Structure 1
Amino acid sequence: MRRPPPALPPPPPPPPPPAGSMSPAFLLLLLLLLLPARARRERLPGGAQAGRSAPAPSSSSSSTSSSSSSSSWAAGPSRFPRSRPGRRRGRLYCRVGIGFHLQLHPDGRVDGAHDASPLSILEIFAVSQGIVGIRGVFSNKFLAMSKKGKLHASAHFTSECQFRERFQENSYNTYASAVHRGRRSGREWYVALNKRGKAKRGCSPRARPQHVSTHFLPRFRQPPPPQLAFTVTRPEKKPPPPPPPPPPKKTAAATLPRHSHGPVKYRLKFRFG
């Protein structure tokens, strides 16, 4: 019996290409990708390439502007800044005596003046629910009540500058200290003025919510309401047509009777009797 021929070994794999050589298809693809980029670069003018490096001065200018703005902010706001949103600006009018406006002095005094003045312009802002603070716009100081019930103007906002605002039935407001009150009775101490316009102590027995000296009427400056108006356009009237021309007047010649050249006929009249 014949033996089958032995199986041939598999052919060896092709040797890998050397590291430095590339296939021609890959080289052609790389060349097609590089040509458009080079053509684009040649089309750009000289100033455009310089513009790419231009952001550096802009960053320096922005840093300069930011430094100048930060320095101006560090200098502090103006002495009499505008009222921030959510704050009420106006005057507190107490109807005791001849009527006084509560005012805060730069030296720390608190009193009332009958005539309105820049010292009486106040700014009321909310601290928490039902608690407000009162600041003098001209003096830039806060209304405060000491532990002895004396009213004064403080340069810094502390717990003594917090007051509890309540609305009365007669449309007036009362302001009681949120910190200090009577130790034994627990009665609240209110901001009050006497009939001569001087500040009362909050612990005074005549400074209670039912007394007129503790009632203040807020007079806030509110922006005028927008005027709601509308324009009515009337239809244009057409001019009336011109009157028809008057008929021609009849002349005297036309009114004269016409004479007939024919024979004149006479009718006989019979009279009986």
Structure 2
Amino acid sequence: MTHPIDRAIGISKLTDGEPEPDALVDAARRQRASAVIAPQGNLALMNTQWITGDVGVSQPIWGVPGLWSPLPIGSCGLLLRAPASDAILVDDELVHGDVVVSGMDAVSPSRIRFSDTVTGTVIANEEGDHALRVWDADSEAIRDFRAIEAFPYDQAWVVEAKFTPDAGTSDVSIAYLKEEGKTRANTVPGEISFTLGAEEHRLVVYQDGPSWLLVFADATTGDTSYSVGRFLRVAPGYKGAVSLDFNLAYLPPCAFSYNFSCPIPPKQNRLGIAVTAGERNVLTRNSDLLH
């Protein structure tokens, strides 16, 4: 799936003439602000509840009706049991009795609707467990959203770097919020090196869908930018040349909702310099920090 920032830049480049870089970033930020308040945008996520245990043993999920239970190992989804009076629609059909709700890892994921504003999706983890995510298009967070605070555009933060592939395609252990110290092994295609302020930096990226993801922290983290860190999408160029535009650094989903579990920057990606570019924090209508 293409990231909203990537889409915005791609769309901008199709316009007549050559837009200035700051105009491209402004377009990306406008689209990003619209994306996070969408019906299943980051600010709409109300709950992520994992359904584990014995097959067929049902449990309730906070905030929505119905009883939910795991399917046999290897299946993509959850079993939902609900009477018609619960008014749950799965793929536009009213649920009455038992129905299999397919996960996002299935060929055709199920569409779940609980009310005019509340919807659901089923996700999976690497172990094959499934969870229901509950989204509310009229969430308090959406109603209270003002803006994504960002540093002003600065061409100086467009850094030319070099990508050195790892012939062995090694892994890096990434810790995640809300997973009590548990780490996941993420494939590292290689290392990115660049120089800033006469100091050389070597960072790792890892595969995330069709692109690479740089998860980093810097001297602004927890001070003038979000406390966990930030993300940057990376694409290699000709013969390993990489352009890192830190103006496109963006906040992880957990900056918008505690119901996301985001990767924590690995040790080698914690910069001692202040990267004063990209997104900083989520602001409420009163200009307070959301998190």
* Greater relative CO (CA pairs within 8 A, separation 6+): 2
Q: Tell me if TM exceeds 0.5.
A: no
Between Structure 1 and Structure 2, which shows a larger proportion of helix residues? 1
Asked which structure has the greater CA Rg, the reply is 1
TM interval, shorter chain, is: under 0.3
